[in-house]
Amino acid sequence: MAEQFLLQAEQLYGVKKESIYTVTQLTNYIRKKIRSDNNLIQIYVLGEITDISKPSSGHIYFSLKDESSLLSCAFFRQNNKTLAFGLEQGMEVLCFGSLTIYEDKSTYQLDVASVYPVGEGALWLKFKQTKEKLEREGLFDEKRKRKVPAFATRIGLIASKGSEAYHDVIVKLKERLPIVTVLFASSSMQGDYAPNEVIRALSILNESNADVIIIARGGGSIEDLMCFNNEDLAYAISKSRIPIISGVGHAEDFTIVDFVVDKRATTPTNAAEIAVPDKNEVIERIETLKHKLKKSYENYLKVKHKEKELEIKEKALKKYKIAIAVILIIIIVYFIIKELLK
Amino acid sequence: MGNEIEGKIESSIKDAEKIIEDFDNFKIGEKDAENVFRQSNKILDECIDLISNDKFRIEEIQKRKIS
């Protein structure tokens, strides 16, 4: 049929059929051109996401736009399954991929291999999205949280052995309450393996008779602390039988773990301070009580002593009054008899 | 959650506070007063001893159970 139309076109308009493209030929030609142009394959394109759609196929379709242009993008399932954050409308991103032709519409589009957020960093974005999700699920609810005991003496500690955090917690616990037993579960506190190792340590400590568990790690970059934004770890913490205190990073560092735990400490040292009371403060409290007890007892004795004195005086007074009354009666009787004898 | 030491200290403190209140309100008989005072004082001393002894120790539990 196409050959017939080509011949007809040649006869009617004098255009040689070799010079006429079919739509498919032209599309294929453009595709070849694009594929052979290094400026159009494996390129980075910066723009704002618009018209995003996420069908059930798992592919993600969106357009990238800037002030004056729009570029269709296809982010296929095999490429987007490892994406560490969710793509959203209005998000500024840097896309890496190759330009291709979409035959059905003869339009060109970017076949996206990976996406990097710009503006809000990828880690921050991931953190934000995980936090929102877990908050919706109620993991941060105060009602769900367990009460941290006031006087723990068996402390579960999850930290990296020999780390500064480990050292800080041990020193502070020993300083505050030297009767403490630390049940130490060593774990990586950084990197890809850390979440699973901490989950495993939590599981082991949950089988122990620890009163409270401390998760301790010193300060670090956002990347270093990323393992504490892990969803599985958050769920494991929420399911713990034993109350958990987090002492991760510095006061200004917040991770997902900090929101899920029963008590967030600003530092590993602070976690130890929360976990156990200061021995000296407890002794002082008891000494104060002993002093009050002594005072109360002495006061009690003083009052009782006065009561006795008063009782003795009252008895003496009573006897004195009786004696006076008897004397008066005798005097009266004496005078009556005297009058009668006159 | 709680433990033996916490229980002992907290209950001893509560008991002592109650005894102080009872002394202040003269609810304790004269015959028992001295004994009550001495006993309470002794228990508070025991609490101090309980947390003063250095028994700090570290048990590395993960290696034992995992490896």
Q: Which domains does chain A have, with CATH numbers?
A: 37-121 (2.40.50.140), 138-277 (3.40.50.261)
A32-68 burial, b if ≥16 CB within 10 A, otherwise e? Answer: eebeeeeeeeeeebebbbeebeeeeeeebbbbbeeee
B5: chain A residues, CB-CB within 8 Å: 151, 153, 179
CB atoms within 10 A of CB A140: 18
Q: Does the beta-carbon distance from A293 to B37 stay under 8 Å?
A: yes
Q: Taking a C-beta distance cutoff of 8 angstroms, is the pair A71, A63 a contact?
A: yes
Question: Residue B59: what pLDDT?
Answer: 95
Among chain A residues, the shortest Cα distance to B58 is held by A182
Q: Does the beta-carbon distance from A286 to B47 stay under 8 Å?
A: yes
B26: chain A residues, CB-CB within 8 Å: 300, 303-304
User: Which of A184, A285, A296 comes nearest B20 by C-beta?
Assistant: A296
Q: Does the beta-carbon distance from A178 to B9 stay under 8 Å?
A: no
The minimum CA-CA distance between B56 and chain A, rounded to whole Å, is: 5
pLDDT in tens, B5-64: 888 888 999 999 999 999 999 999 989 999 999 999 999 999 999 888 888 999 998 654
Q: Does the beta-carbon distance from A293 to B44 stay under 8 Å?
A: yes
User: Which sequence spans correspond to the domains of chain B?
Assistant: 4-66
Under DSSP, the state recorded for A46 is E
Q: Is the dihedral of CA A139, A140, A142, A145 positive or negative?
A: positive
pLDDT in tens, A299-325: 999 999 999 999 999 999 999 999 999
Cβ burial of A187 (10 Å; 0-12, 13-18, 19+) is buried
- What is the maximal distance between C-alpha atoms in chain A? 187
The minimum CA-CA distance between A59 and chain B, rounded to whole Å, is: 41
Q: Taking a C-beta distance cutoff of 8 angstroms, is the pair A272, A173 a contact?
A: yes
B2 — pLDDT class (breaks 50, 70, 90): low
Under DSSP, the state recorded for A82 is T
Give pLDDT < 70 ranges for chain A.
1, 119-122
B67 — pLDDT class (breaks 50, 70, 90): very low
A to B CB pairs, distance under 8 Å: 126
Query: Which of A148, A200, A297, A304 to probe the B interface (max B CBs under 10 A)?
Result: A297
Neighbouring C-alpha atoms within 13 Å toward the C-beta of B15: 15
Residue type for position A16: K
B51: chain A residues, CB-CB within 8 Å: 177, 179, 279, 282-283
B1 — pLDDT class (breaks 50, 70, 90): very low
CB atoms within 10 A of CB A303: 13
Q: Does the beta-carbon distance from B5 to A146 stay under 8 Å?
A: no
CB atoms within 10 A of CB A325: 10
The minimum CA-CA distance between A282 and chain B, rounded to whole Å, is: 8
Helix (H, G, I), strand (E, B) or coil at A263: strand
Does ipTM exceed 0.90?
no
